[in-house]
Structure 1
Amino acid sequence: MTDREEANLAGIFPSVPQQERAQQKRLALLESGRELFIEKGYEQTTAKEIAAHAGVATGTFYRYFSDKRQLFMSLMEDQMDKLMPPEPDWLNVDPENFLASLLADHYRQLDKLGLHRVLPEILPRDSELAEVLAEARRKIHSRIHRGLIHIREKGLTWNDLDLDSVSWAVMVLVEKIPEKEADSGKKADLSEIAKIICRLVFPPGLLKN
Structure 2
Amino acid sequence: MSDREEGLVGSFPFIPKQERAQQKRKALLTSGRILFLTKGYEQTTAKEIASHAGVATGTFYRYFADKRQLLMALLEDHLELLTPPEPVWFNYNPESLLASLLETHYKQLNELGLYRVLPEILPKDSELLEALTEAKKKIHGKILTRLEQVREKGLTWKDLDLNTVAWTIMMLMDNINEIEEQSGCPINFNEIAKIICRLIYPPVILEQLRNGEKKI
TM-score, length basis structure 1:
0.94
| CA distance in 2: counterparts of 1:112 and 1:15, whole angstroms | 28
Q: Which structure 2 residues correspond to residues 79-118 of structure 1 after superposition, within 5 A?
A: 79-118=78-117
Runs (5+) with no aligned partner, structure 2: 209-216
| CA distance in 2: counterparts of 1:61 and 1:12, whole angstroms | 15
| CA distance in 1: counterparts of 2:140 and 2:98, whole angstroms | 16
> Aligned residue for 1:15?
14
**Secondary structure, in 3 states, of the residue corresponding to 1:7?**
helix
Deviations 1:114-163 (A, max 9, x none): 00001001111111111111011111111111110111111111222111
| CA distance in 1: counterparts of 2:38 and 2:108, whole angstroms | 18
> Aligned residue for 1:42?
41
Deviations 1:56-97 (A, max 9, x none): 111111011000011111111121112211111001221100
| CA distance in 2: counterparts of 1:21 and 1:95, whole angstroms | 48
Letter in 2 for 1:92: N
> Aligned residue for 2:140?
141
Deviations 1:97-123 (A, max 9, x none): 010011111111111100000100111
* Per-residue deviation, 1:196: 0.4
| CA distance in 1: counterparts of 2:82 and 2:174, whole angstroms | 10
| CA distance in 1: counterparts of 2:158 and 2:57, whole angstroms | 60
Letter in 2 for 1:152: R
> Aligned residue for 1:3?
none
| CA distance in 2: counterparts of 1:154 and 1:26, whole angstroms | 52
**Aligned residues with identical type, % of pairs:** 64
| CA distance in 2: counterparts of 1:162 and 1:24, whole angstroms | 52
TM-score, length basis structure 2:
0.91
> Aligned residue for 1:128?
127
Q: Per chain length, whose mean CA-contact separation is higher, i.e. which structure has more relative contact order (CA < 8 Å, sep 6+)?
A: 2
> Aligned residue for 1:52?
51
| CA distance in 2: counterparts of 1:61 and 1:203, whole angstroms | 56
**Secondary structure, in 3 states, of the residue corresponding to 1:205?**
helix
Number of residue pairs the alignment of both structures matches: 204
* Per-residue deviation, 1:188: 2.0
> Aligned residue for 1:179?
178
> Aligned residue for 1:68?
67
4+ aligned runs moved over 3 Å, structure 1: none
| CA distance in 1: counterparts of 2:40 and 2:59, whole angstroms | 22
Letter in 2 for 1:56: V
| CA distance in 2: counterparts of 1:78 and 1:53, whole angstroms | 23
Letter in 2 for 1:198: C
Deviations 1:152-178 (A, max 9, x none): 111111222111111110011111111
**Secondary structure, in 3 states, of the residue corresponding to 1:29?**
helix
